[in-house]
């Protein structure tokens, strides 16, 4: 007797639903974004939605109203950015040029062209104002355009809270990882605001000594006397010695023999200082005050040292000192007074 084994019907395993291709997912995201635009017209919807309903069918009015709102947001942001930049430019131009005196403004006269130290101060003020204005323009652009982008995302019903949280966490991480960079930027900003130095100044920054060629918020570029270029981070500069701010002083020591006639030597040196002060090539354009003979600076068993002092424009002290030495040497030679070794 054969055993009949019943045949059990084995059902095939259920097939998984096909995954949506990437293009379909992109279409779904676009549809969701468009749905976000239409949600802005729910209820009353505002004047823009009411205006669109009067000229378009109810099916397309919310979508068009949302698109128009986004365009208006971007347009207003660009207008605000342009206005902010114009205001900053006007303030910078006014700060860099300075103001005329009250009497001059009442008479309608323009301020005269600055000369000497006033010209250098005006140039430094202009450079500092332009640098700060550039920084303010970047900050204004970031704030205005960033606000516009967040507003557009809100119009698209895209949640911005996670985005802001992510940006905040990223900012904290960058802040911890780039502390030196932040330190350089803050130090550079205070250097510009306080006018510690500017382009063309000869400074001692500790790490290097040279002429300032460029000042940014992060670094200061110097060129030393040998032509070597130094890049010094602003955050590492703890003290600055500026040889070009305000005015400089040329000090020339004149050693003469111990047996020289002191009154005669002093009279000769005073004639030299009067001569260079009367020279139009140096008066006011290089030397800002009448040079003075300070008298005997040192006495030794072989020489008597006289000192001449002249207040000059910034960074012009070496030029004046060389000219004084030439004229002093010629005057002493004419008087047959030897210079001590």
Q: What is the pLDDT of residues 244-281, one digit of tens each?
A: 777 888 999 999 988 888 999 999 999 999 999 999 88
Residues 171 and 237 reside in one and the same domain: no
Residues 78 and 165 reside in one and the same domain: yes
> What is the DSSP secondary-structure string of 278-293?
H-TTTBTTTB-S--EE
pLDDT at position 228, please?
A: 92
- Looking at the structure of the chain, the number of domains it has is 3
Q: Does the residue 254 lie in any domain?
A: yes
- What lies within 8 Å, CB to CB, of 44 at 6+ separation is 50
Q: Is the pTM of this model over 0.85?
A: no
pLDDT at position 187, please?
A: 86
pLDDT at position 31, please?
A: 46
Dihedrals φ, ψ of 218, to 5°? -110, -40
Residues 325 and 263 reside in one and the same domain: yes
CA distance 290 to 335: 24
- DSSP state for residue 208 in the 8-state scheme: -
Q: What pLDDT band is residue 138 in, cutting at 50, 70 and 90?
A: confident
* Strands across the sheet containing 202-204: 229-233, 219-223, 209-215, 202-204, 241-242
Q: Using an 8 Å Cβ cutoff, are 21 and 46 in contact?
A: no
CA triple 142-147-153, angle to 5 deg: 125
Residues 238 and 258 reside in one and the same domain: no
Residue 125 has pLDDT above 60, yes or no: yes
Could you tell me which residues are beta bridge partners of residue 303?
257
Q: Does the residue 110 lie in any domain?
A: no
Distance from the first to the final alpha carbon of the chain:
142
CA distance 209 to 230: 9
Indicate the residue among 136, 155, 177 that finishes a domain.
Answer: 177
pLDDT at position 157, please?
A: 75
Please give the torsion angle defined by the CA atoms of residues 206, 186, 145 and 34, in that order, rounded to the nearest 10 degrees. Answer: 110
Kindly state the tokens that stand for 225.
């006397």
Q: Using an 8 Å Cβ cutoff, are 308 and 273 in contact?
A: yes
Q: What pLDDT band is residue 179 in, cutting at 50, 70 and 90?
A: confident
- C-alpha distances out from residue 170 to 110, 218, 340, Å: 52, 21, 71
Q: Using an 8 Å Cβ cutoff, are 217 and 189 in contact?
A: yes
Indicate the residue among 131, 156, 177 that finishes a domain.
Answer: 177
Residues 278 and 237 reside in one and the same domain: no
The CATH number given to whatever domain includes residue 162 is: 1.10.287
Residues 173 and 38 reside in one and the same domain: yes
Residues 218 and 166 reside in one and the same domain: no
- C-alpha distances out from residue 93 to 99, 103, 128, Å: 11, 21, 11
Q: What is the mean pLDDT of residues 156-166?
A: 76
CA 290 to chain CA centroid, Å, is 37
> What is the DSSP secondary-structure string of 13-78?
PPPPPPPPPHHHHHHHHHHHHHHHHHHTTSTT-HHHHHHHHHHS-TTTHHHHHHHHHHHHHHHHHH
pLDDT at position 3, please?
A: 44
pLDDT at position 25, please?
A: 53
pLDDT at position 329, please?
A: 93
Residues 159 and 282 reside in one and the same domain: no
More confidently predicted of 128 and 309: 309
Residue 27 has pLDDT above 90, yes or no: no
Range among 21-25, 99-103, 317-321 rated most confident: 317-321
pLDDT at position 1, please?
A: 43
pLDDT at position 93, please?
A: 83
Residue 185 has pLDDT above 90, yes or no: no
Query: What is the average pLDDT value for the chain, to the nearest integer?
Result: 77
Residues 270 and 146 reside in one and the same domain: no
| Domain with 230 in it | 185-242
Tell me the percentage of the chain whose pLDDT exceeds 70: 73
- What lies within 8 Å, CB to CB, of 96 at 6+ separation is 122, 125, 126, 129, 130
Range among 14-18, 171-175, 212-216 rated most confident: 212-216
pLDDT at position 256, please?
A: 93
Residues 48 and 89 reside in one and the same domain: yes
Residues 160 and 95 reside in one and the same domain: yes
Q: Does the residue 8 lie in any domain?
A: no
Q: Does the residue 49 lie in any domain?
A: yes
Q: What is the mean pLDDT of residues 280-286?
A: 85
Q: What pLDDT band is residue 116 in, cutting at 50, 70 and 90?
A: low
Residue 166 has pLDDT above 50, yes or no: yes
Residues 39 and 148 reside in one and the same domain: yes
Q: Within a 10 A sphere around the Cβ of 131, how many other Cβ atoms?
A: 21
Indicate the residue among 131, 155, 177 that finishes a domain.
Answer: 177
CA distance 121 to 323: 25
pLDDT at position 252, please?
A: 93
Tell me the percentage of the chain whose pLDDT exceeds 90: 22
Q: Does the residue 208 lie in any domain?
A: yes
CA distance 210 to 227: 9
Kindly state the tokens that stand for 340.
């001590």
> What is the DSSP secondary-structure string of 307-335?
EEEEEESTT-HHHHHHHHHHHHHHHHHHT
Residue 23 has pLDDT above 80, yes or no: no
More confidently predicted of 149 and 103: 149
The CATH number given to whatever domain includes residue 267 is: 3.30.70.100
Q: Does the residue 293 lie in any domain?
A: yes
What tens digit of pLDDT does each residue of 58-105 get? Answer: 666 667 777 778 888 889 999 999 999 999 988 888 877 754 433 344
Q: What is the mean pLDDT of residues 179-199?
A: 82
């Amino acid at each position: 007797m054969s055993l009949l084994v019943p045949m059990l019907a084995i059902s095939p395993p259920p097939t998984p639903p096909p995954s949506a291709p990437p293009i379909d997912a992109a279409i779904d995201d676009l549809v969701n974004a468009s749905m976000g635009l239409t949600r802005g017209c729910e209820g009353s919807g505002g004047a823009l939605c009411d205006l669109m309903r009067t000229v378009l069918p109810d099916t397309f009015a919310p979508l068009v109203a949302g698109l128009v709102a986004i365009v208006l947001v971007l347009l207003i942001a660009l207008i605000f950015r342009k206005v902010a930049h114009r205001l900053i430019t006007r303030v910078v131009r006014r700060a860099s040029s300075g103001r005329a005196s009250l009497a001059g403004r009442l008479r309608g006269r323009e301020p005269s062209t600055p000369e000497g130290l006033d010209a250098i101060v005006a140039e430094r003020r202009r450079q500092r104002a332009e640098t700060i204005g550039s920084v303010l323009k970047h900050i204004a652009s970031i704030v205005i355009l960033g606000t516009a982008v967040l507003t557009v995302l809100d119009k698209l019903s895209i949640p911005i809270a996670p985005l802001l949280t992510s940006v905040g966490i990223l900012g904290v991480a960058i802040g911890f990882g780039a502390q030196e960079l932040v330190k350089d930027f803050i130090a550079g900003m205070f250097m510009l605001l306080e006018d510690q130095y500017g382009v063309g100044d000869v400074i001692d920054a500790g790490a290097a000594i040279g002429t300032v060629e460029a000042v940014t918020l992060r670094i200061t570029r110097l060129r030393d006397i040998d032509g070597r270029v130094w890049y010094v981070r602003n955050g590492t500069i703890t003290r600055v010695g500026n040889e070009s701010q305000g005015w400089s002083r040329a000090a020339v020591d004149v050693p003469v023999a111990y047996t020289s006639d002191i009154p005669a030597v002093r009279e000769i040196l005073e004639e030299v200082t009067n001569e260079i002060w009367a020279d139009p090539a140096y008066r006011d354009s290089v030397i800002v005050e009448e040079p003075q003979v300070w008298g005997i600076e040192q006495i030794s068993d072989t020489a008597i040292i006289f000192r001449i002092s002249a207040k000059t424009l910034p960074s012009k002290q070496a030029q004046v000192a060389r000219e004084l030495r030439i004229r002093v040497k010629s005057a002493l030679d004419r008087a047959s007074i030897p210079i001590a070794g």
